[in-house]
Structure 1
């Protein structure tokens, strides 16, 4: 791999961690095997709202093919793998009776990672709430904080002898906003959105305490999707709308978790759900800040929407990925600096990647130069941020594998590895070789 193709990493720490990330519902499949319960996404997939009618029933079949996937990680040379546990796989009803077969799967996965010299980074929640708990109000029920703490205790007791890196949630702003505000508008009202935000924050704090109590030398964080919210025009209304979305998208979770306060713009709306001691319960000591970043978000005013904002037009000259997301390494640099300044925690970039509709060429190879150029530009931006004093300690590509990309189903591919969904054959893309070359160059 010629060094001219590699980004600058001179300002990164000698112990900088290179990794890849996935999530349970997006890759595991086996949704009706070995006692797993249904998740809210299993039910949502049945509504027909997913592109092409896709479901997570098989996904990448990681449940059966995890050893092959660990082998891919070893070939990449990554030091760490961020994955999530499927709550309904280990607690089919979300609480109560434990599913031993589900826990045994994660035993096997963790053991295989450690045998390959790869550190497991475990995220407790990546959006697959047990459907049984949704039927009891889900995150709108304040008891959800207790349910989540009990689930965290189970995972800590089973895996905490081998797993030390834990994240409570992945992108809480995204699953809250898109289920109660930016998406599914017919189910939404402001009171429900603010109650959900607060209950998820309470669950985070409760889980942190449980992990501290049950895992020796635990290293704990939460993973936040932070994207600059930019007005689509210079109009006063659009500027105000962008500022509102910025509070909900970028601050509604890390501010109370790390600073002990909600953004001023939402405090009155949160107050009906706030009980004495709640903010202290939410703001528990953390070891690191998990950052997911892809692109800026462009925002316009929309008077008939819940909070007065909606997605707006991107600049006409914006460089875009094939799925229409802006390519803006400067926004990544800006986000790293802002996160460092505001929260003062070590930062691990736990998702960054490039969506495409990759296909094999006539030789069977999957050549994806656009992804390579994207990753190179974003690693360069990260290096620049580190040179300016940002305490960034790791970078994980989204994703190891092409997978189920939520409402886009299987039509969008973010993987370093191509997955033929008919045969489930894995084919490393050219970006896989590039990333392996980068890691080898900086961590020989």
Structure 2
């Protein structure tokens, strides 16, 4: 698909600016959202479960990575919030808060410890129990099949995501999930953030399996930053399409569920008002979002990727293209931040190249690890408008959106409350302007091990005392606010000034 010209984008933004809420934002309630709109919170298996070496679970690549001391604070997810042992307490807490739904992931190395074939009965029992407990309390389970925690044995055996063998093993694993839990799970996500795992794992090497090449990463155990990110992403895309095909052919009619994929939704803005930076930001959105959205909607990678990456970008021949195109009932997005990008000169054609060089931007990736990033609710509006204008306005779930702060036993987190209010109001206005958003999940339900921050920063609505062997939970003020909103209360106190979200 050709790039969208600036004219219709500008018109759409002006139209959005002209839309006004029917009443003051303080009067907005959850009932102003469309009927059936789902509000929940989420976590993922490695980040929340703990019990890393219990009941037959074997290591994932994240266990290996953290045990080698590579997490940002040297910590591991060995215990984390210990949801494996405390899931009943957590579900009761979700019910008390009034969550519509809980988004969680299944640990591949807990359910199938060796990556294929033998199912672990204790892992099967745990997820059955968790799902049953959620349903008992009227909470929808929204399940992610793969959330970064590849079994280490598959990494060792054939290089994990770099091998097409991953597709077969992943599809067999997904089949076990559909067969075992699909009678109760009606919302499936195949893969979480396949547009960023290849960057951390295979471009800059900051995440497992720590593969990269100089000068784009350092201290890596082999790798090629100019090719491997594209190969890993390609296999994730094909694995996703394979699982969707399986679900639709074998399970969907009887189980009645929906299946999709969840992408990271950074929004890229030009660092200046130059045409070069504006073009660079558009390219970066094509590389970051279009990397998966374009093949899912149109059957091939974005033209700008084809032209700039060339032969290093894997082909999508007709059979694969047909299988990938339309392989979703919905698209999930995890949205947190804005990246300011600046055009750089790539005319020299110097090698080696990597993802960011191909996108032709100067990207402040180092800032991500220190939290020096920009957030603003209007970026969510722009993301949703981009999906509407470029990709046919697909059904969208906001699967992660949240606010980080430093660990504290103080339950007053007013900044988090205000952050969530601001984004929910923007989401409401986007829906009124035609966005096809179906639900919103706060990241995170509990404090967890954070992939980027370890335990240095917390996102939880509910705090967890990580220094207490009992992992005591406590409600933060944001959890009490969210609970009130879920019960039908107003979005924000009437005394708080209304903010404008359209620049």
Q: TM-score, normalised by structure 2?
A: 0.81
Secondary structure at the counterpart of residue 406 of structure 1: coil
Q: Which residue of 2 aligns with 1:335?
A: 383
1:190-229 superposed matches below 5 A: 190-212=226-248, 213-215=250-252, 216-229=255-268
Q: Distance in 2 between matches of 1:299 and 1:4?
A: 32
Establish whether residue 189 from structure 1 lines up as the match of residue 221 from structure 2: no
Q: Distance in 2 between matches of 1:358 and 1:369?
A: 14
Q: Distance in 1 between matches of 2:194 and 2:102?
A: 20
Count residues in correspondence: 432
Q: Which residue of 1 aligns with 2:35?
A: 14
**Which ranges of structure 1 fall in alignment gaps of 5 or more residues?**
none
Q: Distance in 2 between matches of 1:8 and 1:339?
A: 26
1:23-422 superposed matches below 5 A: 23-135=44-156, 136-184=158-206, 185-186=217-218, 187-212=223-248, 213-215=250-252, 216-234=255-273, 238-239=277-278, 241-267=280-306, 268-269=310-311, 272-301=314-343, 306=354, 307-308=356-357, 309-312=361-364, 323-341=371-389, 342-361=391-410, 366-422=411-467
Q: Distance in 1 between matches of 2:317 and 2:164?
A: 11
Establish whether residue 436 from structure 1 lines up as the match of residue 457 from structure 2: no
Q: TM-score, normalised by structure 1?
A: 0.91
Deviations 1:376-431 (A, max 9, x none): 11111011111111121211111100111113101110010111101111011000
Query: How far has the Cα of 1:334 moved from its partner?
Result: 1.2
Q: Distance in 1 between matches of 2:108 and 2:83?
A: 16
Query: How far has the Cα of 1:284 moved from its partner?
Result: 3.9
Secondary structure at the counterpart of residue 423 of structure 2: helix
Query: How far has the Cα of 1:313 moved from its partner?
Result: 9.5
Q: Distance in 1 between matches of 2:247 and 2:236?
A: 16
Secondary structure at the counterpart of residue 354 of structure 1: coil
Q: Identify if the C-alpha distance between structure 1 residues 7 and 367 changes in structure 2 by more than 3 Å, giving closer, same or farther.
A: farther
Q: Which moved more, 1:75-84 or 1:324-333?
A: 324-333
CA contact (8 A) 1:7 1:376 kept: no
Q: Distance in 1 between matches of 2:296 and 2:121?
A: 32
Q: Distance in 1 between matches of 2:423 and 2:342?
A: 27
Query: How far has the Cα of 1:220 moved from its partner?
Result: 0.9
Q: Distance in 1 between matches of 2:366 and 2:384?
A: 22
Query: How far has the Cα of 1:305 moved from its partner?
Result: 6.1
Query: How far has the Cα of 1:241 moved from its partner?
Result: 4.3
Q: Distance in 2 between matches of 1:195 and 1:131?
A: 19
Query: How far has the Cα of 1:141 moved from its partner?
Result: 0.4
Q: Distance in 1 between matches of 2:123 and 2:460?
A: 25
Q: Distance in 2 between matches of 1:235 and 1:206?
A: 42
Q: Identify if the C-alpha distance between structure 1 residues 110 and 155 changes in structure 2 by more than 3 Å, giving closer, same or farther.
A: same
CA contact (8 A) 1:6 1:438 kept: no
Q: Identify if the C-alpha distance between structure 1 residues 11 and 96 changes in structure 2 by more than 3 Å, giving closer, same or farther.
A: same
Q: Distance in 2 between matches of 1:183 and 1:230?
A: 25
Q: Identify if the C-alpha distance between structure 1 residues 389 and 326 changes in structure 2 by more than 3 Å, giving closer, same or farther.
A: same
Query: How far has the Cα of 1:270 moved from its partner?
Result: 5.6
Q: Distance in 1 between matches of 2:177 and 2:365?
A: 43
Q: Identify if the C-alpha distance between structure 1 residues 157 and 252 changes in structure 2 by more than 3 Å, giving closer, same or farther.
A: same
Deviations 1:172-191 (A, max 9, x none): 11111222224442433222
Q: Identify if the C-alpha distance between structure 1 residues 343 and 63 changes in structure 2 by more than 3 Å, giving closer, same or farther.
A: farther
